[in-house]
Amino acid sequence: MSTWESALRQLCQAQPEKLAAWLQDDQRKLWISIGFLCIGGALYGGALGLWRAPLQGLYVAIKFPLLLALTALGNALINGMLAQLLGAPISFRQSLLAVLMSFALLAVILAAFAPLCGFLLYNLPPLGSTQQAFGYSLYLLTNTLLIAFAGITANLYLYRLLKHLCQSVKQARQILLTWLGVNLFLGAQLSWNLRPFFGSPELPVHFLRDNPFAGSFFEALFNVVWYSLV
């Protein structure tokens, strides 16, 4: 069994004792985690953007791993400090690797869903048809649920690792909740800056929007909620 195949099995099985051993072999497992993140993210990203256009699929195959990597790096920088403040027996480098392992597992799960995206692409109404809006909404909703499922699963496995490493379940839960908070805010904002991912049928295909740093995800969300209420 190759090193990568063995690492993939251990990552998917997510046994805390084996994953804890990864934190001791940090340099080797660091590159393996980055590899899984990039490959899995590219496979799913390509399938994600393909409904809009083949070029959009290529763009998202580049941007989706970049989104995961930037979110993981930003989280690791903040989470390493938070773990120390909460008294966790995790070094800064181990915190970086733990976050990368979680994102690598997320990417692997999403890559496994890439054939499902292909099935949807084959069966949904094509662009330009009278049912285009329905197809776009269904595709958007389905992929949002897939990403949410993969994220929840990856963080549950990360929680098992934290319980194995920390002194108490309460400490592990505190660390996980702080990490999830950082994931939410940083990941949402970076996804806003790197949009589009799904690609709107009404807009031309672009790698980035013309004004990627204008506004924020939370400002847009507030406006949507506000205008729906007034």
pLDDT digits (tens, 9 = 90+) for 73-123: 888 777 777 777 767 677 777 878 888 889 999 999 999 999 988 898 888
| 10-46 tens-digit pLDDT | 888 888 888 888 888 667 888 899 999 999 999 999 9
Residue 215, pLDDT above cutoff 80: no
Domain ranges (residues) in the chain: 15-229
For residue 29, the model assigns a pLDDT of: 84
Whether residue 1 has pLDDT greater than 70: no
Give pLDDT tens digits for 110-157.
999 999 888 988 888 877 777 777 888 888 888 888 998 998 888 888
Higher pLDDT, 183 or 223: 183
Of 64 and 15, the structure prediction assigns the larger pLDDT to 64
Q: At what angle do helices 132-165 and 169-193 cross, to 10 degrees?
A: 150
* Integer angstrom CA distances of residue 29 from 3, 6, 36, 52: 10, 12, 10, 36
The pLDDT of residue 184 is 82
Nearest to 104 by CA among 48, 152, 42, 40: 40
How would residue 47 be classed by pLDDT, with cut points 50, 70 and 90? very high
Contacts of 157 (CB under 8 A, 6+ apart): 14, 19, 102, 105
Helix, strand, coil shares of the chain as percentages rounded to 5?
75, 0, 25
